[in-house]
Structure 1
Amino acid sequence: MSNDPNPTPDPTPDPDPAQDPAPAAEDPTDWKAEARKWEGLAKKHKSAAERLQELEDKDKTEAQRLTEDRDSHKTRADQAEGELMRLRVGLAKGLTEAQARRLVGSTKEELEADADDLLATFGGKSDDKPAPSRRPTEHLRGGGDPEEDPEVDLRKIADQIPRR
């Protein structure tokens, strides 16, 4: 950068924001063809990746393979136990299965606290009233057959009204 006290202005003027910019040139790339090309390469190299994994596994000792198997099974067991604990706490608190799956915590106490917070925030099932259904119930009263045209005796109706 020069220390010129009178720098010369940039010869290219700034674009005027009021003017529309020139339309961009259309992208000539055929994206479907590109996707097919990369998908084909992935399929081609998948067998090579599997072969590499086999070679790496061959060099491992039996103890290493057993350790890896044990670790993967332990991880799956921990995940299943966590899911079971969430479902049990949710069931005990009256949550639905979908709500119970969203509980957060690693201990039973943390899950129970989260379930209580969920119930306090969104409300839960109350023992004294039924759970709301998705469809409103209709409170209809019987009327009669609209095809029938009963004769109405207004004097009988008036006699049924209690007087003070």
Structure 2
Amino acid sequence: MHRKWWNLIRIRTIETGAEPGGGEPPQTEPPQSDPQANTGGEGDEKLGEHGMTALKNERRANKSLREQLAAANARIKEFEDRDKTDAEKASERIASLEKSNNGNAAKALRYEVAVDKQLPKVLAERLQGSTREELEADADNLLKLVNVQNKPNVKPDPSQGKGGDPKPHSLSEAISAYYK
């Protein structure tokens, strides 16, 4: 039993970089890895055959350790939660769900305002505000900026394209037309 706890502490120490019994609270979720970490990144082809093998082995070991860490954190959470009453567990779950619900409602409102104001979908996440009125005002400001950037600043050159005068067929015709 004692050895299992020591291994859990060692795993958490490696992950957080803190000393056992340190001042920082332990993380309850493993950190999110970079999506490029498990795929071939830039420069991987320069490693050669042995380097690629070593890199693949390292990534495989890293994935295994992350899975072990997640399992260990889940086990620690179980031990922390075993002394809680059902009411405390339910209140934590309700708080978590309310936080998620509020985030989803705010996101839905941003997209609603973006659709109503005919704002491009990619700009909907950039809207700021907590009420519909604030979001609409921000959408109006954002639309003004988008429309200003989309207006062409260059005036057309009348000498380009089809003009009123026919093109000369030879150099001598062009010279005589210039001096007329």
Q: Give TM-score, length-normalised by structure 1.
A: 0.50
Distance 1:41 1:85, change over 3 A: closer
Whether 1:105 aligns to 2:97 is no
TM-aligned CA deviation for residue 51 of structure 1:
1.8
Q: What aligned pairs does 1:92-131 form with structure 2 within 5 A after superposition?
A: 92-123=116-147
RMSD: 2.6
Aligned residue for 1:66?
90
Whether 1:52 aligns to 2:76 is yes
Aligned residue for 1:36?
60
Instruction: Give the whole-Å Cα distance in 2 for the aligned partners of 1:41 and 1:100.
Output: 38
Whether 1:82 aligns to 2:115 is no
Q: Which runs of 4+ in 1 moved over 4 A?
A: none
Q: Give TM-score, length-normalised by structure 2.
A: 0.46
Distance 1:56 1:111, change over 3 A: same
Instruction: Give the whole-Å Cα distance in 2 for the aligned partners of 1:88 and 1:41.
Output: 42
Question: Which stretch of structure 1 is more off in the superposition, 93-102 or 81-90?
Answer: 93-102
Return the letter of the residue paired with 1:34: E
What stretches of structure 1 of length at least 5 have no aligned partner?
A: 1-27, 125-164
* Larger RCO (alpha carbons 8 Å, 6+ apart): 2
Distance 1:94 1:39, change over 3 A: closer
Return the letter of the residue paired with 2:84: K
Offset from partner CA, 1:94-130 (integer Å, 9 cap, x none) = 2233332321111222211211111111129xxxxxx
Larger proportion of helix: 2
Instruction: Give the whole-Å Cα distance in 2 for the aligned partners of 1:96 and 1:112.
Output: 14
Instruction: Give the whole-Å Cα distance in 2 for the aligned partners of 1:52 and 1:122.
Output: 50
